[in-house]
Chain A
């Protein structure tokens, strides 16, 4: 019904590898894009800049991690460290007077460089050992930030970011900053969607499934893992820089701590490894749910005059949030993206689901 497949015929390899084999997917994306562009005119500035904008920035970041972890299968516990490299490099560059376009690029490249350097050491080991090595990267970065005032900005380890500007145009309004986040997130999304249907994307998947088997097929697994790490770090670096430039307005070590690394990893696991739409859902759940749950409970307590103390009010949403993660993963271990895919699969053949198999 929603996803008519009638008239979809593939007569060439090229047409089969189209970005949107099902027209509905394309139409859905068009609607979402229009909604994204129209959001500033529909939503209040609170929702736009305190919920939607961080959601987009974090989605772009999580997509970057998903590239390394979801597509190439490399567990990464030090993603926040690459974000930190990108953020600090870009902010320092911008403070030095370099225009933001180049500062962002410098941030991305610096993160990519440091990420690849670590990858050279890290990729000699696999699985859980890799996780620990990447965790080491996180702790080294934490230590460096806490012990070098030159990088972290001296006074109380906070480094102010200069006003954000693109093409010489200063961007300070909420709408402008939102569009920057939207643009970057769209760019990363398009890149990831296209990645899936290229030789590079398939090689990454081959490495993920079994790097040994991939090597037999002639895929240089070390090389592709390195590409996955450096690309993911590049996205993470620019994302971190944008987070600071358009949302926090200053960089502080706590914004890139180990808990952030775990949080981003949780986003993609809850959302679905190797799923783009799932990443969007996962980020929404992990990033926005605590605040929303807080709000709902506070309003409920006020409405029903529940005699709850401050601490109880703070802890119930945390418990609810934890329970939600467990429930979602119990219902669908492959993540929220798979939940969406299930619904889509159901409607692909509805009402003739006897033809499914």
Chain B
């Protein structure tokens, strides 16, 4: 009894001590707050992306940091719960973090009002509200990448190339997860269908996407010429099975950027031949920065995680995101010197010009009005072993996209 009391008291004391343990540091690094969902819905991508962030930062620090300032990545799990995302934000904010990244739509949406209020920087590449590319309204939010609207428009532009400039009479199917992520591109597709004269067929797939039988028999009935798919992770594998069952060839399938090597392995590298996906990063390890990371970190045993993650395209996605962030910091240091503050960081990010991280991604130009960086993507095809680009980096129908963006962002009032 006495012993258990003592040990309970000791346990409580140590817990209290650990909770309030101060983290003393000598120098003030530039801190990146990575509040990620590492345990629930987004785990298909977050380990690779956060590992990429840590590796890239480690590499940058090896080279002396940015303007002499070292960079620190603070990774914390929020389990895709808005409540815990806010907790992460509020905590890190007080530790001097002013650059936040959530890689989760619900959390990024929940964080947005606070970020705008506190004038901190929210990075939301590929997640969150798409109209946040409008820098005039969302001054502190940086999507740093294509919107889903832009991505789907670029897919259509690719199909137009395939059909030698005329989509009239072409039937395009859109298979999507029936919630905001999947529904988002629909208005753009409908507008484009009117402009280009193709026929659009919609096939909603109920969440979480592991039963798609109903949708694909409908696809078989309609026999569209191309299928654009807004599915995630395992849902692609289910889709591929249903396509096989319904006799729909794989080369009709154009996926959103969320399809990686794990999904390809699950579909079967041979069976996936001809499958295409829109992307804003180059796939594969044939990129200078990845080669450098392998040589400088992994060959010397200093990598931040398992090396097999490097073969995953989401690792490239993470590198692309953090290359842009670090480039923004470099610009900030160049314009205003160190220490970098949230205001100078914002200016730095807004001064990224034609930056492609040495062939890693589509060149981006971020301005004070366009926080998306131009929204260029390309379509790549899986040839059984690797991704083969089918187009240049393109950003099509930008006027149309911006019309939708402005219409949507005009409803936001801070």
A residues sitting closer than 8 Å to B (CB atoms) are 44, 46, 49-51, 54, 146, 154-158, 160, 247-250, 252-255, 287, 290-292, 294-296, 298-300, 302-303, 309-311, 313-315, 317-318
Contact = CB atoms under 8 A, between A and B. Distances in A.
A156 B130 contact: yes
A254 B180 CA distance: 10
19 contacts: A46-B94, A49-B90, A50-B87, A50-B90, A146-B183, A154-B408, A155-B129, A156-B105, A156-B130, A249-B113, A250-B112, A291-B87, A292-B19, A294-B76, A296-B15, A298-B76, A310-B38, A314-B77, A318-B39
Contact of A310 (B51, B83, B129): B51
B408 A146 contact: no
B113 A310 contact: no
B408 A155 contact: yes
Contacts of B297: none
B91 interface: yes
Contacts of B130: 155-156
Given A156-B131, A160-B412, A248-B86, 6 more contacts: A46-B94, A54-B83, A155-B412, A250-B110, A298-B76, A310-B38
A314 B305 contact: no
B47 interface: yes
Contacts of B408: 154-155
Interface string B101-131: 0000110011011100000000000001111
B63 interface: no
A156 B18 contact: no
Contacts of A290: 79, 84
Given A248-B110, A294-B77, A314 B19 contact: no
B82 A254 contact: yes
B109 A156 contact: yes
The binding surface of chain B is classed by DSSP as helix
B4 interface: no
Given A296-B18, A314-B77, A318-B39, A156 B184 contact: yes
A160 B113 contact: yes
Contacts of A291: 84, 87-88
A29 B352 CA distance: 58
Nearest to A152: B180
Contacts of A247: 86
A318 B110 CA distance: 22
Nearest to B409: A155
Interface in B44-85: 47, 50-51, 54, 75-77, 79, 82-84
B300 interface: no
B110 A255 contact: yes
